[in-house]
A = this chain, B = another copy of it.
Amino acid sequence: MSLGEKAMSESMVPEGWREVATPPSLFRRFQFDSYRDTRAFLERLAGLSKETGLYPDLGFGTTHVNVTVYGADGRAPGANEIDFASRAAALAVP
């Protein structure tokens, strides 16, 4: 089993993210001070998606963004998704 196929263990969940069982995914809510910051984060996420080929479900209002990263083909999030989550969190810093 390659790292990419490996199921996620508790210890692998990036800090601040919540592991969701059904459907298998990683979830995190990001809060921002302004709509401008919210939009900037969404733009950065779009760039990360383009680079990685991973497209999470995104929900947003003026000052928050909810990110749900699904595992591939209904499986638990693997190394790629965990890496995406970590990098996404880094992009949320203004």
Residues of A within 8 A of B (CB): 35, 39, 46, 55-62, 66
Contact A57 B61 (CB under 8 A): yes
Contact A55 B46 (CB under 8 A): no
Contact partner of A60 (CB less than 8 A), chosen from B35, B58, B61, is B58
A19 vs B4: C-alpha distance when bound (angstroms): 43
Interface on chain A toward B: helix, strand, loop, or mixed SS? mixed
B contact residues around A56 at 8 Å (CB): 61
B contact residues around A58 at 8 Å (CB): 59-61
Closest beta carbon of chain B to A33's beta carbon, Å: 15
A53 vs B61: C-alpha distance when bound (angstroms): 13
Closest beta carbon of chain B to A15's beta carbon, Å: 25
B contact residues around A66 at 8 Å (CB): 59
Closest beta carbon of chain B to A51's beta carbon, Å: 14
Closest beta carbon of chain B to A28's beta carbon, Å: 15
